[in-house]
Structure formats: C-alpha cells, structure tokens
Amino acid sequence: MNRLLSVSNLVVSVEQKEILHGVNLTVDRGQLHVIMGKNGSGKSSLAYTLMGHPGYTITGGAIEFCGQTINTLSPDKRATLGMFLAMQNPVEIEGVVYKDFLRQAYNALYDGTPRQLRLKEFNVLLKEKLALLSMDESFIQRSVNVGFSGGEKKRAEMLQLLILQPALAILDELDSGLDRDALKIVCRQLKQLQKVCPEMSFIIITHNPSIVQLLDLDAVHLVQDGVIVRSGDAALIEQLDKYGFEESSQR
C-alpha cells in the first residue's frame, strides 16, 4: 500500500451551511489527480478543507494523511506533515524578497533538524533548483508576488514546490490568469517536478478541460454540488469536452 491521502465520507459546513456532502477520494504517492467541476461546485472548498482552513468545519467523515487522521490539525501542522496549498490568487508581500521568503519557509519546515541551511548553503540549493526550472536568478530578487504576472506567480509556486518538496501539492486553479503559452510553461515545469520528485503527489483543481491535455495524470474526478459524482482516467476529459459538466455527471 502506497496510500498518501484518504478522504472518507467528508461532510463540511461553512457558517452552519453544509457545502460538502460526503466526499470520498484516495491519492497514492507519486500520483497526479485532477478535480474538475463548474464554479461553485465545491472544488476549492475541498482544497481549503484539506489544508485546514479555519472557516471550514468538518461535521462528518475523516481525512487521513501520511497515515494519521488530520481532521483537527492546524494548517501549519499539516504543512509540517507535507501538505502544500497553492492558492488561486497568491498574496503579495511588499518588501519581502522572494529568496528570503523561500529560505525562511524551508528552515521553518525543518526547524530543529540538521536539514536547516545557512545562507550560503541555501543559495547553492536555490541556484540548483532555478536551473532545473530554467528560471533566471533575477526572479528571486523581487518582492513576493509584487508586480508578478499570472504566469510568474504560478512559476514562483513551482519553485516553492521544488524547494520545499511536500508530499502532496494541492494547486487551486492552476490555469488562473494564464494565457495558453504561459500555461504550457507552467505545465512543463510541473512535469519536471514529477521527474525530479517522483514521490510527490498532486491534486490540481480546475474547471478547464484543456489543461489536462498538457499533463500526465492518473485520475480525473468530477465534482457537482459538493460531491465527487464521477471518477475516471483521461477519457473522462473527452466526455467533459463533448457533453459538459452537467450531462457528463449523469453518464
């Protein structure tokens, strides 16, 4: 068994209104899953719940990650276990240089262990990862996400993943704000991540079927009204393209 994440009959409420109604999902190590559905179907709500957002209350079911139930764990504890959420609209942090942000995040992850790195050691690591993603060093001299284009924000997230190497990366609306060319670059970097970190798993949240054509995936899940109503392989994308979300959920 190489199970990383297991979501069983998950029921979630926001301000006492139920929004997820019994979600079931399993992800093994090294897999890439795509979760699709219309706007408002519950995709992002599932992502935020997995990461432990305090506004989302679990009222039923369980989330097991890395062999333990994490229903009550705070977001920072989940991050320490190896869970990462890339949000649709990353926060801009004026005055915080991106390379300093990355070093703080890395050392916080390995607090109290020999894996923490001094500045010189971290710079060596950072240059190595930039080269793997074909990114210029000038990129990391800027304030975090300030003035970044949509494509630059997503590429910055790919760099974070390569530095932090979580067990599970949840990418909410990976294609948000990207034109076709920028999306191709980000998906190419994602494939490079899969090659360099074969044990890393991914959940990609999207409502855009075309993104899947650029990725090597293991499973596709269709969410409707707070429930995963269908799961399958890449062939399910063809049905979504042909029939749309509503009709595909009934086939």
pLDDT one digit per residue (tens) for the chain, 251 residues = 599 999 999 999 999 999 999 999 999 999 999 999 888 899 999 999 999 999 999 999 999 999 999 999 999 999 999 999 998 888 889 999 999 999 999 999 888 888 899 999 999 999 999 998 888 888 899 999 998 888 888 889 999 999 999 999 999 988 887 888 888 888 899 999 999 999 999 999 988 877 777 888 999 999 999 999 999 887 787 777 666 655 555 55
pLDDT at residue 87, as a whole number? 83
| Cβ density class 113-127: b for 16+ within 10 Å, e for less | eeeebeeeebeeebe
| Cβ density class 208-222: b for 16+ within 10 Å, e for less | ebebbebbebebbbb
pLDDT at residue 110, as a whole number? 87
Rg (CA), the chain: 18
Cβ–Cβ < 8 Å for 61, 104:
no
Residue of 206, 204, 194, 102 lying closest to 145 (CA atoms): 102
User: Where is 53: in which H helix or E strand?
Assistant: none
Other beta carbons within 10 Å of 55:
10
pLDDT at residue 233, as a whole number? 84
- Classify 237 as helix, strand or coil: helix
Cβ–Cβ < 8 Å for 8, 64:
yes
User: In the chain, what are the domain boundaries?
Assistant: 3-248
Q: Which residues contact 226 (CB under 8 A, 6 or more apart)?
A: 18, 19, 20, 21, 23, 41, 42, 45
pLDDT at residue 206, as a whole number? 87
Distance (Å, rounded) from C-alpha 196 to C-alpha 24? 29
For the chain, what's the residue count? Answer: 251
Beta strand residue intervals within 79-167, DSSP E: 83-86, 93-97, 143-144
pLDDT at residue 88, as a whole number? 80
> What CATH number was assigned to the domain covering residues 3-248?
3.40.50.300
- Give the predicted TM-score (pTM) of the model: 0.90
Both tokens of 218, joined, read 């293991």
Residue of 216, 83, 85, 94 lying closest to 157 (CA atoms): 85
Q: Cα dist. 165→48, 52, 80, 222 in Å?
A: 20, 19, 11, 27
Distance (Å, rounded) from C-alpha 137 to C-alpha 248? 45
| Residue 243, CB-side half-sphere exposure with 13 Å CA sphere | 14
Distance (Å, rounded) from C-alpha 104 to C-alpha 113? 14
